[in-house]
Amino acid sequence: MSGPTSEAGGRRRARPTAHELARYEALFAARTRTMKSSAMREMMALTEQPDVISLAGGLPDTSTFPPELFAELFDEVAASATARALQYGPTEGMAAAVDCVVEVMTAEGTRVDRDEVIITTGGQQVIDLVCKALIDPGDVIVAEAPTYPGAIPTFGAYQAAVAQIEMDDEGMPIDELERTLDRLAREARRPKFIYTIPNFQNPGGVTMSLERRRALVALAREHELLVLEDNPYGLLRYEGEPLPTLYALDADAGGTRGGADLVIYLGTFSKILSPGVRLGWAVAPRPVLEKLNLGKQGADLCSSPVTQLFVAEYFRHRDATGEPAWLAYVERLRALYGRRRDVMLAALEEHFGESGRWTRPGGGMFIWATLDERINTTDLLALARTSERVAFVPGSAAYMDGRSGASSMRLNFAGNSEEHIREGIRRIGSAVQTQVGLISTLTGSRARAGAAPTGADAAPTPSGAGERGAGGAGAELADVVELPRRARGSARRRGDG
């Protein structure tokens, strides 16, 4: 057969040549220039191999959900609502799913008005919709450092400038936040919202103290700034007493009305039930909610009625003792993950010892470990993956500039068996010891453990002493990372060589 490259005629080739790529280049939106794939991400893709123990994932353990119950719930949906399940649903979500949200929020100690809830396709969609509603290119988002790695591509896609504020063991230091806001004001730059994960932060593993929660809400009200409170792990608490949500604190501060004025709450069924149902929600002041709703109409019209009805059925289900099944399941996850956290902490003590520092989360799924500043965890991952068959998330994934946090790593304890956690940490520890040994040889000195937010976050600090006292070195590290990066020229580019 004759190839389509034949010289005769003006037939289009099936694949673009490099020359033709320039054409597409002119059509791509400016924001795609900030959407990047990094060597580190490429490497992460290689960790999904059967003999690699991965402590890298953000995964809950879905193997704990009883298959019989899964089948029973879908049977029930089929019997009672096949046609509705297969139909489009309302953009704001089905009433039955909103009922479940109200129930979860109540369990979190937060009262919500069901008219202020929108059901979304996972919590991730809330981040996207909030950016879509609030961010013009160059607008500033204030976030914690480190921050949720999954939010970074979203912030980048909306061309936000992100000011990251280094956390200590009580979360984001509010005095540092104030200084950042002042500085932005002097530079006539406009922060639109503050993004925070107050409970068992991903990836930092720290929890914002009650005093700081109060101070953050007060500051937001003073500056008329929105706060996006991302709370996927609030119910996964393994010790200590729950703290009020920022949403509840803002609603209380507002007085008369039920809802919050400036806090947008993000919740999800991913960690208390399953990420596979792809259901999350936002609770927001009405004017914001309307914009989120419009954005969602454009994005996907509605979240899946199939899974909304499945979740609704699940929340109606009672276990043998008459308890709501979902609460019993969360209780089970708590016991399971709590043990796994303890196993990981013990393993870190044994295998990292003095070569690192790590957070001691009171809940959630992640521990953040920081090593000697001369160890780069992206490089360490390359070594650990090949010589030890183990993986973790390098810290720089949690920074907008892709460079800071280079000596830290995120470790997931929730999604792995105790045996894998012990062995995984042993393997990472062995790679760390190799590097520490080399450093000692090269410098003739002992390696030092890096500074990290430490300490348990179990109970609220009654005195409020944390705010100024504990800030310390972390407070110095706040930085503003500009996005989008300046585009120059229109020549072609490549991603590999």
Partner 1 sequence: MSGARNIVVLTGGRSLERNVSLRSGAHVREALTRLGHDVRAVDADGDVLGSLLAGKPEVAFIALHGRDGEDGTIQQLLEAVGIPYTGSPPAACMSAHDKALAKHLMQAGGIPTPDFRCLSERAVKQLGGAALLEEIERSLAFPLVVKPARQGSALGVKFARSREELPGALVGAFSYDDKVLVERFIAGRDLAVSVLDGDPLPVVEAVPREEDFYDFSSRYEIGMTTFVCPAELDDATTARAQELALATYELLGCRGVARVDLMLDAQTSELWVLECNVVPGMTDTSLLPMAADAAGIDFDQLIERVLESAFEHLAVPPERAG
Determine if 48 is a binding residue for partner 1 (CB under 8 A): no
Answer yes or no whether residue 63 interacts with partner 1 by CB under 8 A.
no
Q: Which stretch binds partner 1 (CB under 8 A): 194-202, 247-255, 316-324, 369-377?
A: 369-377
Asked if residue 38 binds partner 1 (CB under 8 A), the reply is: yes
Q: Does 11 bind partner 1 (CB under 8 A)?
A: no
Q: Is 388 exposed, middle or buried (0-12, 13-18, 19+ CB in 10 A)?
A: buried
CA-based nearest residue to 361, from 427, 412, 420: 412
Of the residues 72, 290, 342, 373, which one makes contact with partner 1 according to CB under 8 A: 373
Nearest-angstrom CA–CA distance, 370 and 146:
12
Using the rule CB under 8 A, which residue among 42, 182, 222, 419 binds partner 1? 42
Least gap, CB of 3 to partner 1 (angstroms): 5
Round to whole Å and give the CA distance between 184 and 223.
12
Among all chains, which residue has been given the structure tokens 């009262």? Answer: 111
Q: How far is the CB of 490 from partner 1 (least distance, A)?
A: 8
The H or E element that residue 368 is part of is strand 366-371
The nearer residue to partner 1, 66 or 138, going by C-beta atoms, is: 138
Under rule CB under 8 A, residue 9 binds partner 1: no
Q: Are 268 and 281 in contact (CB under 8 A)?
A: yes
Q: How far is the CB of 381 from partner 1 (least distance, A)?
A: 8
190 touching partner 1, by CB under 8 A: no
- For 148-189, where are the alpha helices, taking DSSP H only? 151-157, 174-186
477 CB contacts (<8 Å, ≥6 apart)?
Answer: 145, 166, 404
Question: Counting contacts by CB under 8 A, is residue 21 touching partner 1?
Answer: yes
45's CB contacts (< 8 A; 6+ apart) are: none
Q: Is 3 in the site for partner 1 (CB under 8 A)?
A: yes
| Closest of 283, 212, 268 to residue 243, by C-alpha | 212
Please tell me whether residue 276 binds partner 1 under the rule CB under 8 A. no
Among 102, 325, 328, 382, binds partner 1 (CB under 8 A): 382
Q: Considering the complex, what minimum distance in angstroms separates the CB of residue 37 from partner 1?
A: 6
Q: How far is the CB of 491 from partner 1 (least distance, A)?
A: 4
Query: At its nearest, how many Å lie between partner 1 and the CB of residue 76?
Result: 43
Give the C-alpha separation, 23 to 373, whole Å: 44
How far apart CA 356 and CA 343 sit, in angstroms, is 17
Site track for partner 1 across 426-465, x = CB under 8 A: ---------x--xx-xxxx---------------------
30 exposure class (CB count in 10 Å sphere: 0-12, 13-18, 19+): exposed
Residue 397 neighbours by CB distance under 10 Å: 25
If one asks whether residue 130 binds partner 1 (CB under 8 A), the answer comes out as no
Whether the link from the prior residue into 4 is cis, omega within 30° of 0, is: no
Give yes or no for residue 14 binding partner 1 (CB under 8 A): yes
Q: Pick from 11, 12, 19, 186: which binds partner 1 (CB under 8 A)?
A: 19
Among 12, 23, 186, 486, binds partner 1 (CB under 8 A): 486
Please, how many CA atoms are within 13 Å of residue 22, restricted to the half-sphere of its CB? 6
Q: How far apart are CA 270 and CA 496, in angstroms?
A: 35
Residue 226 sits at φ, ψ, to 5 deg, of -80, 150
- The piece of 182-190, 242-250, 465-473, 485-493 that touches partner 1 (CB under 8 A) is 485-493
CA 405 to chain CA mean position, Å: 16
Residue 275: CB minimum distance to partner 1, A: 24
Our finding on whether 185 is near partner 1 (CB under 8 A) is: no
The reply on whether position 297 binds partner 1 by CB under 8 A is no
- Alpha-carbon distance of 479 to 395, in angstroms, equals 16
What is the contact mask toward partner 1 in residues 385 to 414, using x (rule: CB under 8 A)? -----------------xx-----------
- Report strand pairing: 226-230 vs 263-268: parallel
Backbone phi and psi for residue 264, each to the nearest 5 degrees, phi listed first: -100, 125
The smaller minimum CB distance to partner 1, of residues 20 and 331, is found at 20
Task: Output b/e per residue, 232-255; b: 16+ Cβ within 10 A.
Answer: bbbbbbbeeebbbbbbbbbbebbe
Which residue, 21 or 71, has its beta carbon nearer to partner 1?
A: 21
* Closest to partner 1 by CB, 129 or 371: 371
C-beta of 186 vs 493, nearer to partner 1:
493
| Contact code string over 90-129 relative to partner 1, x by CB under 8 A | ----------------------------------------
Residues that bind partner 1 (CB under 8 A): 1-5, 13-19, 21, 32-40, 42-43, 45-46, 373-376, 378-380, 382-383, 402-403, 435, 438-439, 441-444, 485-497
